[in-house]
Structure formats: C-alpha cells, structure tokens
Structure 1
Amino acid sequence: MSYEDVDLDSLVNLEQIFFDEGYKDGYDHGRIHGLIEGRALGREKGYEMWEELGFYEGFAFTWRAILLKLGKQDERKLHNISSLLKLIGQFPSTNPSQTSSEAEVDIMKLLRQIRSKYKLLCATLGVRPRLQAVDESTAPTEPNDNADEEESNGNPSRIKRSIWNLESASQEAKTPPKPVVTAQHDFSF
C-alpha cells in the first residue's frame, strides 16, 4: 500500500461530517416534534376562537328572539344582529388547503371585524359587552339554590344570579328599581 492510496481528505473533514450528520438528525427530530406541537397549539387556539364565535352567535340569536318576541322592530338593532351573523357565517369552519381560494381569508382580520360588530351591537342594545372564560377553579361544581344570599369563599363570580324574564321585560322597563333597605342601626349613646 502506497502513500498515495490513503485518502486523508475524509480525516480532515471528520469534524464537519459529524456536525452535518448531527444537524440533519436534530433537524428531522425537531421537525417531527414541531409539527406535533404546532398541531396541538393550532387545535387549542382554534377551539378558543370557535368558543368566542359561538358566544357571539348565541348572543345575536338570543337578542333577535327577544326583540321579535317583544314585537320591537328596531331596524338598526336587527341590522346589526344580521350583519354580525353574516360575518360569523363567513368564518371558515374547516382548515383550507393552500390551493383553495378560502386560504386567502385573513382570519385575524375577520375575527377583529366580528369583535367590533359585537361591541357595536352591544352599544345599540344598551348592554355591556363581555365574554368571560370559565376555568375549573372558578366554576361552581353543584347548583346552589341559596347562592343569592351567600357567596362561596368570597368569590362573586360563583353567585347564582337570576335571569331576566322575557314576559316581564316590558313591565320592568317601566317601573323604577326598588331601593335596597339596609339594617337600621341605633348609634345613640
């Protein structure tokens, strides 16, 4: 074996060969875990968006039913309700492929428009806009019939509140609220 038969180039680049091989293995491993984590995060964020949109849609359907039941034909309120429902209907319900024309829908822009329309609807209805997410630590576990009088651990979100009755809505709007009577204390000495 002669000196010319030995290939020393492979020994010179030995460190680079191990680096490239490790990089390729790490890249492949990271790509797999990135796809798994990305898919899970996408599901979570998608669920949060749909939960919010479901709240807005239920709010709009409920108020449309209230207005129609009371016989109020306020065009502005009904127009805002229908435009909110139309925007919600434009929100994609599936994950579109990149070749689809639906892929050009800007989801975040559409979500901002829906939120703005919801706030506008709340302003025209005269209600406070709110969407409260309930987590397991603040959600009541069992219904409590005496929850109006007592608070659970000082947390006002756990109080059972009465729901507004549709039949008495027109009567409640005409009568002023009753003053709250507090206990009388004798401070004389």
Structure 2
Amino acid sequence: MDLSDFSSLSTSDQVDPFTSDPVNQRQIYHHTIGLKRGTESGQLAGWRDGYQTGLKQGATISSELGYYEGFARSWISIMENNLIKCASHERKLSITKSLLDLCMTFPNRSSSIKQDDDVQGKLTKIRLKYRQACSMFSGVTSESRTTSISRFPGPSWNDSEPTLENSKPTDIYF
C-alpha cells in the first residue's frame, strides 16, 4: 500500500487510532478536566497574590507621598510666615509649591487613573522634585526620609494582613 492511497480519503473518513481507543478517550477527558480545574485554581491564587502585593505596594507609595506632602506643607508654612529669609526665598517657595502640586495631582483612587496615565512617571517626577527641594535647603538631605521613618516605625503590614478568604474582585474598594 502506498501513501497516495490515503490522500484520497477526506478528513471525515480518516480514523485516528488514538482517539478511537476508549482508554485514550478517558485519558484525554481527565487531562482536559485537570487542565480546566488547574487553570481556575491558578487564576484564583494569582488574583489573591496580586491583590495582596497591590495592597502592600499601594501602602508603601501612599506613605512615601504622604511624607513628601508633609515635607512640602511644612516648608511652605515656614517660608510663608517669613521664619526663614534668604536671597533664594522665592525660588525655594516656588519649588516647594511645585512639589506640593505634584503630590496633590497624583491619582489616589483607582477610578481617578485614566487609561493613558503614567503613574510611575508621575511618581518619578515627585521624587526628583523632592530631591531638588532638599538640595535648596541646607542641612536637609533626601536620605533623611529613610532615617526619619525608621526611627518612628508605624504599624507593620504583617500585623494586620488583610484576608481574602471571602472576597471577590468586585468587593475591592479604594
């Protein structure tokens, strides 16, 4: 018999010896069921891990932004009350107000983030503006943020880890 004898058969006439065997059909069936269940389980576990990671990262970023905002508000208050007078007073005030404006325009709700928003880019601009503001004031370094936070530790995320046992993606509120 020649291979050309089989080429004349249509696809409906050809019989696959692997799918016609009942043992192989059962194996394919169980493989399909396992794949479906594994995919569903993996998606749920991935959603939970992603949610918890998002909570931690969001808390870290909001803490950082809160620090920058407090820094800016404090220095603006000091400069507007004329407690510090120097030649570059207006420039310092302008840069510090610019830092505060950047902090205030940063999206703080998931609903306020637009599709084309570059959140990481905005955060980078805020960090750079903070460094610029720190360089304007003598005795203030951008590294002072980490030392001041480590001296006054707040509540740890490990103490009050959010549980996701009964939550669904629609239950998330920001």
Cα distance between partner residues in 2 of 1:40 and 1:129: 29
Q: Secondary structure at the match of 1:103?
A: coil
Cα drift, residue 71 of structure 1: 5.6
Q: CA shift at 1:29, angstroms?
A: 0.9
Which residue number corresponds to residue 150 of structure 2?
Answer: 134
Q: 2:62 matched to which residue of 1?
A: 50
Q: What is residue 73 of structure 2 aligned with on the other side?
A: 61
Task: Return the letter of the residue paired with 1:83.
Answer: S
Structure (1/2) with the larger helix percentage: 2
**Structure 1 residue 20: Cα displacement:** 1.6
Counterparts of 1:104 and 1:14, CA distance in 2: 49
The alpha carbon displacement at 1:15 in A equals: 2.1
The residue number in structure 2 matching 1:30 is 42
The letter for the 2-side match of 1:72 is K
Paired residues for 1:1-189 under 5 Å:
8-69=20-81, 70=83, 72=85, 74-96=89-111, 102-126=114-138, 127-130=140-143, 131-132=145-146, 133-134=149-150, 139=153
What one-letter code is carried by the residue in structure 1 that aligns with 2:122? L
Please give the alpha-carbon distance, in whole angstroms, between the structure 2 residues aligned to 1:102 and 1:39. Answer: 20
Classify 1:113/1:101 alpha carbon distance in 2 versus 1 (closer, same or farther; 3 Å).
closer
Aligned residues: 128
The structure-2 alpha-carbon separation of the partners of 1:94 and 1:10, relative to structure 1 and needing over 3 Å to count, comes to farther
Report the Cα offset of residue 93 of structure 1. 1.0
Deviation at 1:12, TM superposition (A): 2.7
d(CA) in 1 for partners of 2:22 and 2:73? 73
Shift, 1:129, TM fit: 1.2
Which residue type is aligned with residue 61 of structure 2?
M
CA distance in 1, matches of 2:113, 2:119: 13
Distance between the aligned counterparts of 1:105 and 1:54, measured in 2? Answer: 20
Instruction: Return closer, same or farther for 1:115/1:101 CA change in 2, 3 Å cut-off.
Output: closer
Distance 2:126 2:113 in 1: 21
Q: How far apart are residue 55 of structure 1 and its match?
A: 0.3
1: CA distance between counterparts of 2:63 and 2:39? 35
Structure 1: give runs of 5+ residues left out of the alignment.
1-6, 140-189
Letter in structure 2 aligned against 1:123: S
Offset, 1:101 = 6.6
Amino acid at match of 1:120: Q
Q: Which amino acid aligns with 1:38?
A: G
In 2, distance between residues paired with 1:48 and 1:42? 10
Unaligned residue ranges in structure 2 (runs of 5+)? 1-18, 154-174
SS in 2 for 1:52: helix
The structure with higher relative contact order (CA 8 Å, sep 6+) is 2
Contact 2:102 2:126 in 1 (8 A): yes
